[in-house]
Amino acid sequence: MAKREISNDLRRFRFNNNEMTQQQLADEVGVSRQTIVAIEKGNYSPTLELAFRISIVFNTSIESIFKYEPKKK
Amino acid sequence: MSYREKESLINIFSGIIITAIFSWVVYQRQLSGTIDLTEDYSVWGTIFLIFMGVSIVARIIIYIIFHILNAIATREEDIPKEDERDKIIKLKSTRNSHYAFSFGLMLSFLALAIGMPVYGIFIAFIGCGLISEIVENVSQLYFYRKGV
């Protein structure tokens, strides 16, 4: 699987938010823990809706959690 | 291993086992002369209908057993809710499954065109069905492991 152009800082945000567990975040945003694991590992890019829900949980903007890094041609 | 990955593995093995057992039973009947699959094509219709019924019932039983065993092993009674990632993986896997089925079907038509007996197309249907199911579940396992 090709390396993704979207990276994230989800783990750091969880840690800074009272060491929130993956399961707690998953319950808050309505997905499975495996999906949160996949996002953190960079194996899955969430939909815009899920990205918004995650940013609302951490009370921040999407851009501060998710970064878009275009591949160099 | 997540619940969905285990489910895919169960699907692969149950598909192979159910098809193998059913095919063996039908083949034994053909050998004993109870049915004639080479000349009487209406028998194939009956076989497909029975196969669908048997397959559905067998899978329900296998799922119940799997769920009970999984609940005992993991102490998680609830089936995980399907989220957006599960849906995308399912869609991509179904796409791969359809490609496999279409390819197999085209090959069987080709075989028919170069002289394969007509009943061979029915065998090809069953074979393509099994292979496409395996492709679907292997794809699911791949996407769950490697990402989507």
Cα A31 from Cα A42, distance rounded (Å): 16
3-state secondary structure chain B: CCHHHHHHHHHHHHHHHHHHHHHHHHHHHHHHCCCCCCCCCHHHHHHHHHHHHHHHHHHHHHHHHHHHHHHHHHCCCCCCCCCHHHHHHHHHHHHHHHHHHHHHHHHHHHHHHCCCCCHHHHHHHHHHHHHHHHHHHHHHHHHHHHCC
Any chain B CB within 8 A of the CB of A36?
no
Q: What is the mean pLDDT of residues B86-91?
A: 95
pLDDT tens, position by position, B41-59: 889 999 999 999 999 999 9
The band of B33, judged by pLDDT with boundaries at 50, 70 and 90, is: confident
Nearest-by-CA chain B residue for A49: B84
pLDDT tens, position by position, B104-144: 999 999 998 999 898 888 999 899 999 999 999 999 999 99
Sole residue written with tokens 């969880």: A14
Count of CA atoms in the C-beta half-sphere (13 A) of B80:
24
- State what percent of residues in chain B have pLDDT above 90: 70
CB contact at 8 A, A45 and B147: no
**A56 min Cα distance to partner chain B (Å):** 18
The interface pTM score, or ipTM, of the predicted complex is 0.82
Torsion angles phi and psi, residue B138, rounded to 5: -65, -40
Best to test chain B binding among A43, A47, A50, A52 (most B CBs inside 10 Å)? A43
Best to test chain A binding among B6, B83, B141 (most A CBs inside 10 Å)? B83
Mean pLDDT of chain B: 92
Interface list for B 1-30 with A (CB within 8 A)? 2, 4
The two three-digit tokens of residue A42, written as one number: 């960079």
Q: In this model, does residue A23 exceed pLDDT 80?
A: yes
CA B81 from centre of chain: 23
Which run of H or E residues covers position A8? strand A6-8
What pLDDT shows up at residue B76? 78
Residues from chain B that touch A40, judged by Cβ atoms under 8 A, are: none
What's the residue count for chain A?
73
| C-alpha separations of A49 from A52, A66, B140 in Å | 5, 13, 23
Which of the residue ranges A8-12, B34-38, B77-81 would you say has the lowest mean pLDDT? B77-81
Q: What is the mean pLDDT of residues B63-86?
A: 87
Which run of H or E residues covers position A66? strand A66-68
Using a cut of 0.90, tell me whether the model's pTM lies above it: no
Q: What is the mean pLDDT of residues B63-88?
A: 88
What pLDDT shows up at residue A1? 53
Residues from chain A that touch B84, judged by Cβ atoms under 8 A, are: 31, 35, 46-47, 49-50
End-to-end CA distance of chain B, in Å?
17
Q: Do A43 and B148 touch (CB under 8 A)?
A: yes
Sole residue written with tokens 């053909």: B30
Cα A24 from Cα A8, distance rounded (Å): 18
Q: What is the mean pLDDT of residues B73-84?
A: 84
| C-alpha separations of B76 from A23, B9, B85, B135 in Å | 14, 19, 21, 28
Q: Do B84 and A50 touch (CB under 8 A)?
A: yes
